[in-house]
Amino acid sequence: MFVFLFLLLAHVSWSAPKILCLGDSLTEGYGLETQEAWPTLLEVKLKDSGYSKIEIVNAGVSGAVSASGLSRLRWSLKAKPDLIFIALGANDGLRGLSTAQLERNLDSILEEAVKFLGGSDKVILAGMKLPPNYGMEYSKHFEDVYLKLANKHQVLFVPFLLEGVAGNADLNLSDGIHPNALGHQIIVDHLMPTFLEALKHAQP
């Protein structure tokens, strides 16, 4: 019994769930200090919630499009994450790239992530929406890609990464696209419940 308890306590003490956040400038924290970006803020908040040894790998790259996502994911898997968060496609939309190609790219990324982790409940997909000036038809097709793939792969789904932030001048930098420090705090509050749910299945 003593040995069993020792091993159990050792696991609790030493296990350190690792989260990989694959994204673009919205994940990287464009225009901000590292500690102001939502992945860093999320790590702090999760530690305060009891995951004292959790580690978040910020794999956000400014300007990244979905086409580079699969190769970047495969390289980032060297970190051996226990949970993978995917937030790509915003730059595809801003450039008016093909939604069919976006779907194929994200489909491959999700397939690889689920396969690596051995379960869809350890993968989170964040959706994206576009400003209305891109046209209703294109914007709808773009948004539908995320819901379609979330259902196909049965991953955890956040319909809109920038919920409550997009379009609010007080929560964005002067470019009107990238969240400011306060905006990133709103993102963390929005994402926190989904990460807590995913972490139930993502212990190392």
Catalytic positions are: 25, 175, 178
Encode 142-173: b = buried (16+ Cβ within 10 Å), e = exposed: bbebbeebbeebebbbbeebbbebbeeeebbe
Tell me if 102 sits within 8 A of 139, measured CB to CB: no
Residue count of the chain, please give it. 204
- Would you give the distance in Å from CA 203 to the centre of its chain? 18
The first and second tokens of residue 40, run together, are: 């860093």
Structure tokens that stand for 143 in this block: 């948004």
Tell me the residue type at 94: L
Of 121, 122, 139, the residue nearest 130 (C-alpha): 139
Distance of alpha carbon 128 from alpha carbon 131, whole angstroms: 10
- State the Cα–Cα distance between residues 137 and 134, nearest whole angstrom: 8
